[in-house]
């Protein structure tokens, strides 16, 4: 037997490393929806860490009475930056990131309809976030006043007027949100156009994966909801720079006008964020229950219904301004009505789980937590939709607990599930289940410590945005528990970030379809090539991979 | 995602000059990023210095021109080599468990049912029928056909909460319009709800609508009316209310029963011979709820 020389027996394949500048150039100039999606997600994660850090600082400040861990001025900046960052530079980008990455893959397309607009939308949103945080460095700038924005994330008039907010801190907020709005509108336009015009053969609207439906509905809401916000930002700029008086109550303007403009964006925004979260759950629960989703048409109808109704509920944020009986009655009922399509969704998810062969992997665990937490969030939402109840608890920590239940308990929780579910597709590696379970339990325990108990000081009268408080009001014990919960959540999130990085280098190789799933993205390699599909796919049902895996029991026979 | 390394021939190519085994994708471009940066700097100048805005403008203008030439007169593409590895799509599970609901593992839903619109039509007809016992009650008890309408409308008018029975027995145009709006909307919504429930209870619509639903609906209203309309709760006569509900239900059920059932999507899953009418459905399918 001949032996090869030792040198020849050693694998001499050279791993071709490209210079960092080449890699950077490739990512900066890319118009590939997957890379842009990943950049959206990475950028959102960066801001998630920053905004999370701000939240921890606030909770330390409030953990004990009469605390002076930070100054009142810094505290105002912290809650403003935390809220604005979480909504505009974490939640929206991350949802659009997943939408960007997944929508073309799920509908069998090679890219988005407008790839260059897609890149522009990402970059302008990203520069919006950078501009807002530049305020920490540049706020004192050339004019010597102010620093980071400190007017709260909804920036009520007349606090934003030049006389109450001198310098440029509010301008940074306005301009950053304006830039973010332009990017959001561009991405929404892209998603709707892509879904309507770039579906593969056989992908009828009645066969769209529910995630795609929900991204389309959420994008539709963006058109209607973000435009008033952008208009309001321009009006505020005119007020501050050119002496217009749109929101100047002493010169014939109206502070309530700003409220209407803001909340006609602000409440639909909740649905812009939660609908993609519903989409994640719609994809994950059936796969880990090994059943088709229950009531697909009802789910689509409920999603579209939520989209429409969400545009008619904004003034339930304004019960305390005195809208009159007719206004209050309308917004009470419209707000309560939205619980009907939402309830349909919860029943359908439960019906999907019912009788299924449930597999408790980490993505599914997050979805189960989502179901429970979203239900509680909805129930406190119904409580707050009743105007008399709202009069009592408006601007209290009960409201803060409620909307964090929605945003963290529902949106962020399902988002974590989505990370564990699609990370193998995006990177080709599985995330660690063990670390995932540590992340899950620490985060969920922390979440409930924080936000369950946050309702109580609210009921006891603790106002939101309060810098500190006296001892003896019955708030201190609750706030301490809330602060401890925040530390649990921080620990869980840090494990998650570590898991993301570690799994990229050392995770188990995923293969193209690690979950035995049914939608088209799992028919591509992991990660998918730049062209997604070598051959344009043709589908005959809502679960094309089920049909390929089970030719004896085709879905198309039942649609 | 390193396939971009295997790209070539940037720029417009027609199909004849396109390399084989490649796929055209939009060419990478820096102009969107430069334009976004330019706009951000233009706005950023408002909070820093006008020179920043000028720099932004100087970036934005060439970016717009560059982007323009990226797509006109022809969109720039790169041609990416295709690595057409065949991926085997198969389940990792070796067994397929069938739930013990049916010989097939899928539960068969009804093959035919009433349409949702038939429920709405039933609701409208039932709403009209309900007026008769309500008007009779008003006439017998208060010698006026307007009492029931005004009582219903009073739920929407806070100022009517303390009004006397004599006031409610008089004709008020405002009250009539409000009562018509409330009654009409509720009838249509109840009809819609009924239509949505029909696929679950497709048999005996007159029994379901005429007796089961009125008692359920009356029970729900009995527990909630104190919150919805306190004035109505104080003065309502529940026995007459049940009679009017039954009138609504019987008429609604009758109208629904007049409609022809429509086929559900499940019908398409039947064998061709059944769909063509050559073979009848077996007992088992007939019994499917």
pLDDT in tens, A217-230: 999 999 999 999 99
Domain check: are B55 and B146 in the same one? no
Number of domains in chain B: 2
**Does the residue B194 lie in any domain?**
yes
Question: Is B40 within 8 Å of A132 (Cβ atoms)?
Answer: no
Contact map slice: A 26-55 vs B, CB within 8 A: 26, 28-32, 34-35
CB contact under 8 A, A30 and B28: yes
Global ipTM: 0.91
pLDDT band at A67 (very low <50, low <70, confident <90, very high): very high
- Tokens representing A388 are 């008399």
Domain check: are B117 and B77 in the same one? no
pLDDT at residue A179 greater than cutoff 70: yes
| CA A349/CA A278 separation, integer angstroms | 10
Residue A299 CB-density burial (10 A; 0-12 exposed, 13-18 middle, 19+ buried): buried
Q: Does A21 touch chain B (CB under 8 A)?
A: no
Domain check: are B242 and B146 in the same one? yes
Question: Is A484 within 8 Å of A449 (Cβ atoms)?
Answer: yes
> Which chain B residues are Cβ-neighbours of A550 within 8 angstroms?
91, 96
**Does the residue B44 lie in any domain?**
yes
Residue B277 CB-density burial (10 A; 0-12 exposed, 13-18 middle, 19+ buried): exposed
What is the dihedral angle through the alpha carbons of A228, A232, A233, A237, rounded to the nearest 10 degrees? 150
Pairs of residues, one from chain A and one from chain B, whose beta carbons lie less than 8 Å apart: 137
Contact map slice: A 495-534 vs B, CB within 8 A: 512-513, 516, 523-525, 527-531, 534
Question: Is A248 within 8 Å of A210 (Cβ atoms)?
Answer: no
pLDDT per position in chain B (289 positions), as tens?
344 444 554 444 444 445 558 889 999 999 999 999 999 999 999 988 899 999 999 999 999 999 999 998 888 999 988 876 777 777 777 666 655 555 555 555 566 677 778 888 888 999 999 999 999 999 999 999 999 898 888 877 767 777 888 888 899 998 899 889 889 988 888 888 777 776 666 667 677 777 787 888 888 888 877 777 777 788 888 888 889 988 988 888 888 778 777 766 666 666 677 666 666 655 444 444 3
Question: Is A111 within 8 Å of A100 (Cβ atoms)?
Answer: no
**Does the residue B87 lie in any domain?**
no
Residue B48: which of A127, A138, A516 has the nearest Cβ? A138
Q: What CATH code is assigned to A32-558?
A: 1.20.210.10
In the block, residue with structure tokens 């009539």: B176
Cα–Cα distances in angstroms (integers) from residue A352 to residues A327, A345, B117, B163, B289, in the given order = 39, 10, 27, 52, 19
Residue A120: which of B3, B32, B269 has the nearest Cβ? B32
pLDDT at residue A300 greater than cutoff 50: yes
CB contact under 8 A, A128 and B40: yes
What lies within 8 Å, CB to CB, of B266 at 6+ separation is A558, B108, B109, B110, B111
pLDDT at residue A6 greater than cutoff 50: no
Least-confidence region, from A301-310, A481-490, B111-120: B111-120
Domain check: are B48 and B135 in the same one? no
Other C-beta atoms lying within 10 Å of the C-beta of residue B34: 21
Over range A85-108, report the average pLDDT.
96
Contact map slice: B 95-134 vs A, CB within 8 A: 96-97, 99, 105-106
> Which chain B residues are Cβ-neighbours of A112 within 8 angstroms?
none
Over range A146-162, report the average pLDDT.
88
In the block, residue with structure tokens 């839903």: B109
Domain check: are B118 and B245 in the same one? yes
CA nearest A554 in B: which residue?
B269
What is the dihedral angle through the alpha carbons of A33, A38, A44, A50, rounded to the nearest 10 degrees? -150
Best residue of B6, B38, B43, B52 to probe chain A, by most A CBs closer than 10 Å: B43
Domain check: are B218 and B147 in the same one? yes
Q: Does B72 touch chain A (CB under 8 A)?
A: no
CB contact under 8 A, B96 and A34: no
Domain check: are B159 and B263 in the same one? yes
In the block, residue with structure tokens 């709260």: A152
SS3 at position B94: coil
Whole-prediction pTM: 0.80
Q: Does B81 touch chain A (CB under 8 A)?
A: no
CATH number for the domain spanning B27: value is: 1.10.287
Question: Is B258 within 8 Å of B250 (Cβ atoms)?
Answer: no
| CA B38/CA B57 separation, integer angstroms | 6
Domain check: are B152 and B205 in the same one? yes
**Does the residue B188 lie in any domain?**
yes
- Tokens representing A254 are 């109206």
Q: Does B84 touch chain A (CB under 8 A)?
A: yes
Domain check: are B136 and B191 in the same one? yes
Q: Is the dihedral of CA A215, A217, A223, A225 positive or negative?
A: negative
pLDDT band at A60 (very low <50, low <70, confident <90, very high): very high
pLDDT in tens, A491-533: 999 999 999 999 999 999 998 999 999 999 999 999 999 999 9
How far, rounded to the nearest angstrom, does the alpha carbon of residue A133 sit from its chain's CA centroid? 20
What lies within 8 Å, CB to CB, of A371 at 6+ separation is A281, A346, A349, A350
Domain check: are B61 and B188 in the same one? no
Q: What does DSSP assign to residue B75?
A: -
Tell me what pLDDT residue A355 has.
Answer: 84
pLDDT in tens, A231-241: 999 999 999 99
Q: Does B92 touch chain A (CB under 8 A)?
A: yes
- Looking at B31, B60, B81, the residue that finishes a domain is B81
Sheet arrangement for strand B22-26? B7-8, B77-81, B22-26
**Does the residue B90 lie in any domain?**
no
Best residue of B40, B82, B107 to probe chain A, by most A CBs closer than 10 Å: B40
Domain check: are B43 and B118 in the same one? no
- Domain-by-domain residue ranges, chain A? 32-558
CB contact under 8 A, A557 and B268: yes
Range of the domain at B36: 3-81
Domain check: are B230 and B188 in the same one? yes
Question: Is B114 within 8 Å of B256 (Cβ atoms)?
Answer: yes
- Looking at B81, B103, B121, the residue that finishes a domain is B81
Radius of gyration of chain A (CA): 24
């Amino acid at each position: 037997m001949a032996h090869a020389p030792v040198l020849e027996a050693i694998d001499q394949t050279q791993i071709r490393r490209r210079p960092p500048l080449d890699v950077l150039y490739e990512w900066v100039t890319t118009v590939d929806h997957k890379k842009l999606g990943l950049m959206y997600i990475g950028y959102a994660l960066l801001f998630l860490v920053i905004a999370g850090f701000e939240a921890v600082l606030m909770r330390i400040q409030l953990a004990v009475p009469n605390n002076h861990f930070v100054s009142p001025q810094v505290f105002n900046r912290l809650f403003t930056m935390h809220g604005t960052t979480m909504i505009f530079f974490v939640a929206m980008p991350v949802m659009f990131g997943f939408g960007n990455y997944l929508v073309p893959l799920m509908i069998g397309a090679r890219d988005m309809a407008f790839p260059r607009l897609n890149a522009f939308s990402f970059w302008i949103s990203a520069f919006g976030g950078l501009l807002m945080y530049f305020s920490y460095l540049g706020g004192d700038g050339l004019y010597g006043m102010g620093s980071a924005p400190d007017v709260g994330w909804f920036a009520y008039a007349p606090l934003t007027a030049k006389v109450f907010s001198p310098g440029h801190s509010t301008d940074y907020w306005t301009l950053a949100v304006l830039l973010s709005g332009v990017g959001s509108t561009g991405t929404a336009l892209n998603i709707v156009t892509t879904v309507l015009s770039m579906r593969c053969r056989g992908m009828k609207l009645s066969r769209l994966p529910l995630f795609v439906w929900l991204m389309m509905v959420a994008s539709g809401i963006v058109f209607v909801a973000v435009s008033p916000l952008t208009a309001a930002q321009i009006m505020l700029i005119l007020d501050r720079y050119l002496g217009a008086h749109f929101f100047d109550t002493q010169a014939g303007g109206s502070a309530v006008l700003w409220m209407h403009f803001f909340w006609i964006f602000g409440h639909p925004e909740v649905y812009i964020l939660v609908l993609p979260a519903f989409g994640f759950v719609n994809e994950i629960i059936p796969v880990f229950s090994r059943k088709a989703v229950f009531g697909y048409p009802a789910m689509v109808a409920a999603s579209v219904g939520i989209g429409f109704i969400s545009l008619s509920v904004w003034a339930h944020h304004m019960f305390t301004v005195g809208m009159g009986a007719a206004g209050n009655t309308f917004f009470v009922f419209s707000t309560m009505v939205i619980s009907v399509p939402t309830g349909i969704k919860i029943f359908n998810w439960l019906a999907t789980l019912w009788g299924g062969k449930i597999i408790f992997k980490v993505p599914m665990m997050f979805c189960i937590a989502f179901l429970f937490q979203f239900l509680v969030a909805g129930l406190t939402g119904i409580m707050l939709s009743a105007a008399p109840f709202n009069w009592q608890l408006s601007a209290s920590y009960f409201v803060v607990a409620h909307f964090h239940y929605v945003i963290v308990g529902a949106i962020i929780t399902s988002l974590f599930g989505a990370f564990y579910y699609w990370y193998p597709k995006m990177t080709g590696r599985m995330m660690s289940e063990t670390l995932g379970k540590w992340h899950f339990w620490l985060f969920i325990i922390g979440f409930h410590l924080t936000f369950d108990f946050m309702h109580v000081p609210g009921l006891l009268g603790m106002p939101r945005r309060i810098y500190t408080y006296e001892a003896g009001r019955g708030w201190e014990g609750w706030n301490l528990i809330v602060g401890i919960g925040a530390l649990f959540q921080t620990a869980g999130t840090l494990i998650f970030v570590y898991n993301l990085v570690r799994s990229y280098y050392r995770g188990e190789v995923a293969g193209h379809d690690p979950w035995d799933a049914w939608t088209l993205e799992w028919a591509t390699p992991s990660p998918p090539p730049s062209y997604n599909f070598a051959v344009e796919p043709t589908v005959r049902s809502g679960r094309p991979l089920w049909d390929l895996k089970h030719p004896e029991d085709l879905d198309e026979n039942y649609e | 995602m390193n396939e971009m390394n295997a790209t070539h021939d940037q720029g417009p190519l027609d199909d004849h000059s396109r390399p084989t085994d490649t796929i055209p994708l939009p060419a990478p471009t820096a102009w969107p990023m430069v334009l976004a940066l330019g706009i951000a700097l233009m706005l950023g100048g408002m909070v820093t210095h006008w020179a920043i805005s000028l720099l932004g403008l100087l970036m934005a203008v060439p970016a717009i021109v560059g982007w323009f030439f990226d797509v006109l007169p022809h969109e720039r593409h790169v041609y990416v080599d295709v690595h057409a590895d065949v991926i085997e799509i198969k389940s990792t599970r070796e067994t397929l468990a069938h739930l013990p609901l049916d010989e097939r593992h899928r539960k068969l839903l009804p093959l035919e049912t009433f349409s949702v619109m038939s429920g709405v039509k039933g609701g409208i007809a039932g709403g009209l029928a309900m007026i008769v016992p309500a008007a009779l009650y008003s006439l017998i008890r208060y010698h006026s056909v307007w009492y029931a309408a005004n009582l219903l409308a009073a739920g929407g008018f806070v100022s009517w909460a303390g009004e006397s029975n004599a006031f409610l027995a008089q004709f008020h145009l405002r009250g009539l319009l409000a009562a018509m709006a409330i009654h009409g909307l509720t009838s249509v919504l109840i009809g819609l709800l009924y239509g949505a429930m029909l696929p679950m209870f497709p048999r005996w619509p007159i029994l379901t609508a005429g007796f089961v639903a009125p008692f359920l609906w009356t029970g729900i209203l009995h527990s909630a009316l104190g919150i919805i309309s306190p004035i109505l709760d104080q003065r309502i006569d529940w026995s007459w209310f049940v009679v009017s509900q039954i009138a609504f239900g019987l008429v609604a059920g009758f109208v629904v029963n007049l409609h022809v059932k429509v086929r559900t999507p499940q019908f398409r899953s039947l064998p061709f011979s059944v769909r063509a009418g050559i073979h009848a459905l077996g007992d088992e399918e007939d019994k499917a709820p």
